[in-house]
């Protein structure tokens, strides 16, 4: 599945895939390359979806 997400603060700048390190577990996020704003991936079964 694919989603086209854009940053509302930066005139619809496309978000890029990234990950955060959460105590040794990589969490999948999307971030804006201009303002560095971030959104976290959804949860599944009460757990953060990990980066692959």
Closest by alpha carbon to 14, among 32, 29, 28? Answer: 32
Q: What are phi and psi of 39, to 5 degrees?
A: -130, 145
| Segment 5-33, tens digit of pLDDT | 899 999 889 999 888 887 888 888 889 99
- CA 12 to chain CA centroid, nearest Å: 15
Query: What is this structure's pTM?
Result: 0.64
Nearest CA-CA partner of 16 in 1, 27, 32, 34: 32
């Amino acid at each position: 599945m694919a989603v086209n997400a854009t940053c509302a603060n930066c005139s619809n700048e496309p978000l890029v895939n990234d990950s955060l390190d959460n105590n040794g577990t990589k969490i999948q996020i999307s971030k804006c390359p201009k303002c560095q704003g971030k959104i976290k991936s959804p949860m599944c079964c009460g757990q953060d979806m990990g980066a692959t």
